[in-house]
Structures are given as structure tokens and as C-alpha cells.
Structure 1
């Protein structure tokens, strides 16, 4: 049976935001480790895309967009 936390949407949105931020941080840290401009650009682009997803989870949580309102 699912716990109270498992049923709470905010619990899940917070977890996803944390994981997305961890991935963004990892990608940006790896930019310093490679010496290929195209790969550096790919890592930065991926981090920016994940940032957009993170914002979407935050917007859902805060009901900032009309699509997320009841």
C-alpha cells in the first residue's frame, strides 16, 4: 500500500526537481572535463533542456500555468 508521501504530488515533483538539478550539475561539471567544443555545446544544451523540465515541475507544483490549475 502506498504511503502518505507516495500519494502526495509535491513529494514527487520535489524528487524530480532534485534529480533534474543533479543531472544539470553533472553535465555542466563535465563540460570542464572534455576538450571538444561540440560535446561541450551538447552538454550545455542538455542542461538547459533539463532546466526547462525542472521549471515545468515547479510550475505544476506552484500552479503557475493555466494548464495546471483546477
Structure 2
């Protein structure tokens, strides 16, 4: 069973992942609202970078990477 501390960490990582996803969705929606190709590329690049951060939070939460495991 997860400790209270683990549940609190899970809450924070889940909340951050949702915020990152919301921002990614917003950026991708705005791609269709601008005409400048460079800005479209910037929005898509930013969404991809945030996707990497979202994955890092998930990896931390699931301890998928050696860096996130206790030693």
C-alpha cells in the first residue's frame, strides 16, 4: 500500500502532467490560428518539448529510469 507521502507525490506529478498536456493541446490548437510558418513551427516544437517533460514526470512516478530509483 502506498504511503501518504507517495500519494502526495503522485498527486503532484499527475497534476503537473495534466497542466503540461493542457498547454500542449493549447499550442497545437493555436497552430491552426496563425499564418506565420515559423510561429507554427515554434508552437509545435514547444508542444514536443513539453511532451518530453510530461514523459519525464511519468517516468519519475513509475520509476522507469535508473535515475529515479532509490539507491
Q: TM-score, normalised by structure 1?
A: 0.90
Structure 1 consecutive aligned stretches of length 4 or more whose deviation exceeds 3 Å? none
Aligned-residue offset at 1:57: 0.1
Number of aligned positions between the proteins: 66
In structure 2, runs of 5+ residues without a counterpart are: none
Aligned to 2:47: 47
- RMSD after superposition: 1.4
In structure 1, runs of 5+ residues without a counterpart are: none
Aligned-residue offset at 1:8: 1.1
Q: TM-score, normalised by structure 2?
A: 0.89
Aligned to 1:33: 33
